[in-house]
Amino acid sequence: MAFFKKSPWLLHYDASSCNGCDIEVLACLTPMYDVERFGCINTGDPKQADIFLITGSVNHRNAAIVKNLYDQMPEPKVVVAVGICAYSGGVFADCYNVKGGVASVIPVDVYVPGCAAKPESIIDGVVQALGVLEEKHKAFRANRKGSGGKYEISDSYSAEPAEAAQPNAEEAHHA
Amino acid sequence: MDLPLLLVLLPLVCGIVVASIKAFNVRKYFVFASSLLLAIVSIACVVKYAKSLPVRISYDAEWIQPLMLGLELFMAGMVAFLAIKYKKKLALVLAFAQVALAIFFEVRYGESIPIHTDIVIDQLTIIMLLIVGIVGGLIGVYATGYMKTYQEENPDVPDRRRYFFLVLFVFMSAMFGLVLSNNILWMYFFWEITTVCSFLLIGYSRTEEAVRNSFRAIVMNLAGGLAYMGAIIVLANDGGILEFDRLSSVPPVFLAIPLTLLCVAGFTKAAQLPFSSWLLGAMVAPTPISALLHSSTMVKAGVYLFLRIAPLLSSSMPGYLTAFVGGVTFLVGAVLAISQRNAKRVLAYSTISNLGLIVACAGIGTYQTIWVALFLTIFHAVAKSLMFLSVGTAAAGMGTLEIEGMRGLIIKMPRIALMMLAGICGMFVAPFGMLISKWAAMEALISLNNMVSPVMIILIAYGSAATIFFWTKWMGTIIRERNPHARSGLYEHHVSGEEYASMFILTVMTILTCVLFPVISSFAVEPYLVSTYGHAFGLSRSNVFIMIIMICMLIVIPALLIAVPWRKKVTMGTAYMGGRTVTEALHFEGSAGADKQVQVQNYYLTRYFDEKRILPVGIIVCTILLMVMGGISLL
Amino acid sequence: MTTQLYVAIGYVLFAPIIGGLMAGIDRIITARMQGRKGPPLLQPFYDVFKLFQKQNILVNRLQLPFVVCHVIFAIFTGFLFFQGSDVLLIIFVLTLAGVFLVLAAYSTGSPFSAVGAERELLLMMGYEPMLIIALVGMYEVAGSFDMYKIMNAPVPVVLYLPGIYLGIVYILAIKLRKSPFDLSTSHHAHQELVKGITSDMGGATLALTEISHWYETVFLYGFLFIFFGANPIVGAVGVIVTFLLEIAIDNAVARVKWEFMLSSAWLVALIMGAGNLIPLFLINRG
């Protein structure tokens, strides 16, 4: 019996949102909407989160970060893109720095429309994501039993941090 | 030749032999042989006398006393010469005062005091003999490997290693003599030798800092020696008895001043507040010196003096005041260790702190607290010397003595790191010895029937809290793996076999003394308590049982969990860095594309626990306590 | 097998359930205080079960073993306590359990975990003096360090140790990870330094820390229980009142800086603890 429906923990990340959707996400935690009744907790740590709640569009700066956070989340995980910006860039779609919606970097499971999205929609989206989560959990369990190999390194480490600097990968003494 | 005499003379012979060999490779084997020999002879001494304790020996030779006086003059002359050379007036004055008092005593009282027993061997002596012989021997072995690297890395320090080993063995000889002596004059003689040896060895590197600190050490220790001599003169004048085991027959009114003076001497040797700065300064000496003299052996001489006079201090004002000085030192030392960045200074303050606890237990002088004091002595000697040795090796490998420099040691120098972790655990983790002793100390203090009890308990409670902080912080720094994929053992290639061997044996001893402590208690410590105090004390069987279970759990469970690959598949990920993409060396791209690296340092809480703020408070409090002690004794 | 051993085994088996229920009640009451409805009662269990079902990503090989050791020693602490062993020794075992958790956090190398670990050490440094003074006070009144003897003392211990009791309530907030002292990891502030010591713990590792927290909670409230003597009703009332008090403080007070936590905890230990202890010694011995 899976418990993801009973205890969905969110990682809320503002990609490049105007904060409109973020305010609505936080409003869900207030007594008016109170998502904690469903066991939702807004955790800031990707390792402890099931649902990656992203607002805002992806630009060149935060693309790597979004990918990094997604990779750090343990399976099973789902992504809920909140707001029109997360889908396609919204009103900012033509800006020079916007790469596009969240789907350009990580796979998205649920889109929540709106600008800004209403708390009711967000909650609805999270509930739908829970269904997806349960399915992924079943798939993950089946998969885990089959595969071999000792270590599976999730590649959040990158060999090159950026185009600009060349850090020395060797560790000298650090006093 | 009887064993005690052999014990005193053998190190001298070994020292001379070792010092006369020029070739390092040959010399080191002589050092091994000497250390082994010393360990064997001390064990033989224990085995031979174990059944017939206490053993009393006296020497009727007339030439011993003048020989000692002559050697004391010679040492004073050496100190005076060096004091003139380096223009240290205070040391010169003290050396002359020393000589003056010694000659005064010899002239006035020299022949008139009959000595019945020169040497007493009881369980306390045996414990100290084993500590000096075994731990001292191991450190000697370590020193051969370490000093070679030390000289290579410090080419501007003149290579005086033969002199180093000579003084080291002279020191060992003096320590054996010190713990064997029942004759107060003899102990004084050996005491002064240890002072001078410490002085010479601290100044080994002859840098300005080393010279300055060596003179600071000798000034304080000579002051203590003067107090000691003063005690001898007063005892000779008033009581006419100069033997430890007969001091109890002196009427207490005549004992007040000598006891106070002896306590002062003990305070200086054991680096209690307000006399602690010399031990901090002595950390400039090479690591084997710090390990041997300034943590496990010489400072134990100060504590040993307290243990010998503990029956006289029991339930008396000087005893309680001594306990307060010890307690305050315990607290202040523990708190100051938090703010030190240099690993040896942390160890120094920790040593001062632990010695404070031993002194406090000795000052109170009930059979329970003496039980605690004896065990603290044993455990501290073993664990602290292990700590110093591992710090020395780690510092040589990492190039710095800072605690921050030991970050990730578990990957860079895994074997040293493991032994260092064992040492740290031995210092403060239940169920290891130091913690059990601290717990027993609290239980012993509670059963006292006066107001000293709550004050001491409060001091220990706060001090104990402080120790958790800095030791765990250090442990955490060692195991902080920033890069789990890094190659292991990169920095370990310089470590010599001698260093490994000695540290490994000490690690095993740390664990064994812990596991075997009920055995040590019933064979050595309890008989001593019965013969001196008439009572035996031991931890209750249920507590011992719990302790043994915990030790097994502590060793077996982590070993099982870490070494055995439980899961076939383990997913490894990165640490959370705010979502930043980092390289394995924790470099990331900062704003405007600048390359930045993650920097994390430990808390040293210098705003609150800095030496400059807290040490003066401790010094003032303890000075006041000492003045009260002096005042009371004069009444 | 004595009664005490049965109680201790009962602790090992049932404390997670009791602790989880207490945590659930805590969350509901907190929610009601904040005008919300709150999660279901069994929510902590759902959380832990879910965490066990997640993939466990580890940062290094030491993390999980240290957390497991932490749990084992936390259980051992409670086991020894309910079995009637020397309470003073038990506090040191508790410290050992805490040290394991701190080492697990240190081993990751992440700055968030490192700061969390240092804060946790500061917290441990803060509550230790008060705890030791409290135990010594209990010994003074009851004549023993055995929990059962303290409970069965002629007079409920709290009557002689009011200051110490209040001091314990003060530092209980530290141990229970409640505001104002939830600096290193917290129930409510899930983003404070991104979860402090549990920063790099997810999945089964985090679930284990939750479970050990339940064990510790039951142990701590058991410790409070013995203040009130052998009458179970009085004890239960005392524990419940303290429980509600802690929740109320948690919701009413903001998190403080570590300087304030350390200095106030040590000051409380001095004034309430020593201030209670010294007169007690004077009366008993003086």
- Which residues touch C269 (CB under 8 Å, ≥6 apart)? B461, B462, C129, C130, C133, C167, C171
Domains of chain A, earliest start first: 9-156 (3.40.50.12280)
Q: Which residues of C touch A30 (CB under 8 A)?
A: 36
Pairwise CB contact (< 8 Å): B576 & A144: no
| Contact criterion met (CB below 8 Å) for B510 and B383 | yes
In a domain, B497, yes or no: yes
Pairwise CB contact (< 8 Å): A31 & C206: no
Question: Which residue is listed with tokens 């051992």?
Answer: C76
Within 559-588 of B, beta carbons closer than 8 Å to A belong to 565, 568-574, 576, 579-585, 587-588
Tell which of B313, B330, B356 closes a domain: B313
Same domain, B397 and B477: yes
C99, C130, C282: best to mutate for the B interface, most B CBs within 10 A: C99
Please state, for a pLDDT cut of 70, what percent of chain C lies above it.
Answer: 98
pLDDT at C194: 59
CB nearest to C285's CB, from B450, B472, B578: B450
pLDDT at A155: 42
pLDDT tens track for B356-413: 999 999 999 888 889 999 999 999 999 999 999 999 999 988 888 999 888 888 888 8
Residue B474 has pLDDT above 90, yes or no: yes
Number of H helices, E strands in chain B: 26, 5
Pairwise CB contact (< 8 Å): A45 & C49: no
Three-state secondary structure along B348-411? HHHHHHHHHHHHHHHHHCCHHHHHHHHHHHHHHHHHHHHHHHHHHHHHHHHCCCECHHHCCHHH
The number of angstroms, rounded, from the C-alpha of B142 to the middle of its chain's C-alpha atoms is: 17
Residue B437 has pLDDT above 80, yes or no: yes
pLDDT at A149: 38
Q: In 3-state terms, what secondary structure has residue B61?
A: coil
Per-residue pLDDT, averaged over A121-127, amounts to 92
* Listed range (A115-124, B489-498, C21-30) with the worst mean pLDDT: B489-498
Q: Which residues of C touch B464 (CB under 8 A)?
A: 128-129, 132
Tell which of B254, B278, B313 closes a domain: B313
Residue A157 has pLDDT above 60, yes or no: no
Pairwise CB contact (< 8 Å): A44 & C195: yes
Determine contact: C89 vs chain B, CB below 8 A. Answer: yes
Same domain, B321 and B235: no
Q: Which residues pair with B582 in a beta bridge?
A: B588
- Radius of gyration in angstroms for the set of CA atoms belonging to chain B, rounded to a whole number: 25
Q: Which residues of B touch A158 (CB under 8 A)?
A: 581-583
Chain C's closest residue to B573, CA to CA, is: C59
Within 176-195 of C, beta carbons closer than 8 Å to B belong to 194
A60, A68, A106, A140: best to mutate for the B interface, most B CBs within 10 A: A68
* Listed range (B301-305, C179-183, C211-215) with the worst mean pLDDT: C179-183
Q: Which residues of B touch C125 (CB under 8 A)?
A: 465-466, 468-469
Chain A's closest residue to C203, CA to CA, is: A48
| Contact criterion met (CB below 8 Å) for C212 and C97 | yes
Within 104-133 of C, beta carbons closer than 8 Å to B belong to 105-115, 117-118, 121-122, 124-126, 128-129, 132-133
Number of domains chain B contains: 2
Same domain, B33 and B180: yes
In a domain, B574, yes or no: no
DSSP label at residue C161: -
Q: Which residues of B touch C111 (CB under 8 A)?
A: 577, 598, 600
Pairwise CB contact (< 8 Å): A152 & B573: no
Residue A58 has pLDDT above 60, yes or no: yes
Q: How far apart are CA B50 and CA B528, in angstroms?
A: 12
pLDDT at C59: 84
In a domain, B349, yes or no: yes
Nearest Cα neighbor of C256 from C171, C198, C181, C200 is: C181
In a domain, B572, yes or no: no
Same domain, B492 and B365: yes
In a domain, B48, yes or no: yes
pLDDT at B266: 93
Same domain, B89 and B224: yes
Pairwise CB contact (< 8 Å): C269 & B477: no
Determine contact: A162 vs chain B, CB below 8 A. Answer: yes
Residue type, B125: T
In a domain, B550, yes or no: no
CB nearest to A161's CB, from B482, B573, B588: B588
Same domain, B242 and B341: no
In a domain, B556, yes or no: no
More confident residue, C282 or A109: A109
| Contact criterion met (CB below 8 Å) for B347 and B406 | no
| Contact criterion met (CB below 8 Å) for A175 and B400 | yes
The b-or-e profile of B86-118 (16+ CB within 10 A means b, else e) is eebeebbebbebbbebbeebbeebeeebebebb
CB pairs under 8 A between A and B: 105
In a domain, B85, yes or no: yes
pLDDT at B482: 67
Tell which of B279, B313, B347 closes a domain: B313
More confident residue, B316 or B267: B267
All partners of chain A with 3 or more CB pairs under 8 angstroms: B, C
Pairwise CB contact (< 8 Å): B557 & C72: yes
CB nearest to A69's CB, from B483, B568, B579: B579
Calculate how close chain C gets to A117, using CA atoms only, in Å.
22
Give the C-alpha distances (Å, rounded to integers) separating B14 from B35, B117, B179. 9, 28, 20
Q: How far apart are CA B578 and CA B580, in angstroms?
A: 5
Same domain, B275 and B423: no
Same domain, B309 and B324: no
Per-residue pLDDT, averaged over A104-110, amounts to 93
Q: Which residues of B touch A45 (CB under 8 A)?
A: 576
DSSP label at residue B516: T
Number of H helices, E strands in chain C: 11, 1
Pairwise CB contact (< 8 Å): A164 & B599: no
How many CA atoms, within 13 angstroms, populate the side-chain half-sphere of residue B197? 29
Band (pLDDT 50/70/90 cuts) for residue B584 is low
Per-residue pLDDT, averaged over B42-69, amounts to 82
| Contact criterion met (CB below 8 Å) for B42 and B129 | yes
Same domain, B234 and B331: no
Chain C's closest residue to A144, CA to CA, is: C55
CB nearest to B581's CB, from A13, A45, A158: A158
Chain B's closest residue to A46, CA to CA, is: B576
pLDDT tens track for C238-264: 999 999 999 999 889 888 999 999 999
Count of residues making up chain B:
635
Q: How far apart are CA B595 and CA B471, in angstroms?
A: 33
Q: At what angle do helices B298-313 and B184-202 cross, to 10 degrees?
A: 150
Domain housing B483: 317-537+581-635
Q: How far apart are CA C163 and CA C169, in angstroms?
A: 10
Same domain, B351 and B308: no
Handedness of CA B227, B229, B235, B237 (dihedral sign): negative
Band (pLDDT 50/70/90 cuts) for residue C108 is confident
Give the C-alpha distances (Å, rounded to integers) separating B539 from B439, C10, C141, C147. 10, 28, 22, 18
Pairwise CB contact (< 8 Å): C285 & B449: yes
Same domain, B182 and B199: yes
Band (pLDDT 50/70/90 cuts) for residue A174 is very low
CB nearest to C200's CB, from A37, A47, A137: A47
CB nearest to C37's CB, from A3, A34, A42: A34
Band (pLDDT 50/70/90 cuts) for residue A144 is low
Q: Which residues of C touch B330 (CB under 8 A)?
A: none
Determine contact: C144 vs chain B, CB below 8 A. Answer: no
Structure tokens, B158? 């003149």
Q: Which residues pair with A78 in a beta bridge?
A: A51
Nearest Cα neighbor of C29 from C188, C150, C198, C139 is: C188
Q: Which residues of B touch C90 (CB under 8 A)?
A: none
pLDDT tens track for B119-160: 888 888 889 989 999 999 899 899 888 888 888 888 888 888
Query: How wide is the angle at C-alpha B616 spanned by C-alphas B612 and B618, nearest 5°?
Result: 120
Nearest Cα neighbor of B189 from B153, B228, B162, B220 is: B228
Band (pLDDT 50/70/90 cuts) for residue A167 is very low
Calculate how close chain B gets to C66, using CA atoms only, in Å.
7
Same domain, B481 and B496: yes
Q: How far apart are CA C221 and CA C108, in angstroms?
A: 32
